[in-house]
């Protein structure tokens, strides 16, 4: 009887230790760790996890066009570097953070705010409180364009968090290992703040990507006239595919093979517009839309591309 009682005591002690260990894992480990341990039954989360684990996402350079509805947020990953272009609306900040967390991204080397529209910068204030960038890049707008409350809140967060902040400079290069990132920005005066968008070009070996923000045709013409080397295999269409951007002349200048539209399902603006889709069709450019495909990941080894989408992974 004493031996049986002793065995029961030992078994109870072992179970207690196991319970304590499991509790400690759930309490003190990062969310992404225990999510991997227990898995997920949510179809959306499973699909995102699959696209994040795809061949495209595991290339030396991967670009993640995150599905944030009618807005913009793009993550660039190269080696140990992480760059985020825009952070969608405030309501999507948690989605962007969750996406970064699932990839174990807890630090940004660079954050770029293409321009101060709420659907591009609305989520930054919340995100920066949790994932601090080494450098925050933004366009310098004239005083005639009044700052919105979204901008003022974000600028205050940047000051509070002591984030290094710089205005974008035309044709300035930033080097992240073998990745070269170049910013282009208008040098003219415009009434529309969209036309102050930071245009970003990245190159790694023979691979290249172009991100247009919400820059319109006036800026496209300005950059082409200046002879800016904007040629890229992958184009992120300006202004969510609006006909105010992405002219036939510009598309022929860029010479893209793939195009990505970041837009919301059944959005009120009708993005992407049929005129732009027709241009892509005529130029035989393969198009991907976040409203149809969810998050799109285009990765490269510097020569060849791999593409994965959230909906195809579901």
Give residue 227's region: left, alpha or beta (phi > 0; psi -120 to 50).
left
Q: What is the pLDDT of residue 23?
A: 55
Q: What is the pLDDT of residue 312?
A: 77
Q: CA–CA separation, 82 vs 229, rounded Å?
A: 24
Q: CA–CA separation, 138 vs 293, rounded Å?
A: 29
Q: What is the pLDDT of residue 182?
A: 99
> How many CB atoms within 10 Å of residue 13?
10
Q: What is the pLDDT of residue 36?
A: 42
pLDDT along the chain (314 residues), means of 10: 54 56 49 42 66 94 98 98 98 98 97 98 98 98 95 97 98 98 97 97 98 98 98 98 98 98 98 98 98 98 98 70
Q: What is the pLDDT of residue 12?
A: 56
Q: Is the peptide bond preceding residue 57 cis, with omega within 30 degrees of 0?
A: no
Cα–Cα nearest to 34, from 101, 130, 92, 80: 101
Residue 136, strand partner residues = 111, 165
What pTM did the predictor assign? Answer: 0.87
Q: What is the pLDDT of residue 67?
A: 98
Q: What is the pLDDT of residue 32?
A: 45
């Amino acid at each position: 009887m004493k031996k049986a009682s002793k065995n029961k005591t030992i078994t109870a002690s072992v179970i207690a230790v196991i319970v304590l260990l499991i509790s400690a894992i759930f309490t003190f480990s990062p969310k992404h760790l225990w999510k991997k341990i227990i898995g997920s039954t949510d179809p959306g989360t499973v699909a995102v996890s699959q696209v994040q684990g795809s061949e495209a996402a595991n290339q030396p350079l991967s670009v993640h066009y995150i599905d944030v509805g009618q807005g913009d947020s793009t993550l660039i990953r190269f080696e140990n570097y992480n760059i985020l272009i825009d952070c969608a609306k405030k309501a999507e900040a948690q989605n962007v953070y969750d996406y970064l967390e699932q990839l174990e991204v807890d630090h940004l080397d660079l954050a770029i705010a293409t321009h101060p529209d709420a659907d591009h910068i609305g989520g930054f204030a919340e995100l920066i409180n949790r994932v601090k960038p080494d450098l925050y890049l933004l366009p310098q707008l004239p005083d005639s364009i009044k700052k919105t409350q979204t901008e003022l809140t974000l600028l205050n967060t940047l000051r509070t968090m002591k984030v290094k902040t710089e205005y974008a400079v035309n044709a300035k290069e930033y080097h992240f290992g073998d990745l070269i990132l170049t910013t282009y920005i208008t040098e003219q005066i415009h009434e529309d703040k969209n036309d102050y968008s930071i245009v970003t070009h990245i190159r790694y070996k023979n691979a290249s990507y172009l991100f247009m923000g919400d820059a319109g045709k006036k800026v496209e013409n300005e950059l082409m006239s200046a002879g800016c080397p904007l040629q890229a295999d992958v184009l992120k269409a300006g202004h969510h595919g609006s006909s105010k951007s992405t002219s036939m002349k510009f598309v022929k200048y860029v010479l893209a093979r793939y195009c990505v539209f970041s837009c919301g399902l059944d959005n009120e603006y009708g993005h992407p517009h049929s005129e732009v889709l027709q241009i892509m069709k005529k130029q035989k450019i393969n198009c991907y839309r976040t409203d149809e495909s969810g998050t799109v990941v285009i990765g490269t080894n510097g020569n060849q591309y791999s593409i994965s989408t959230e909906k195809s992974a579901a």
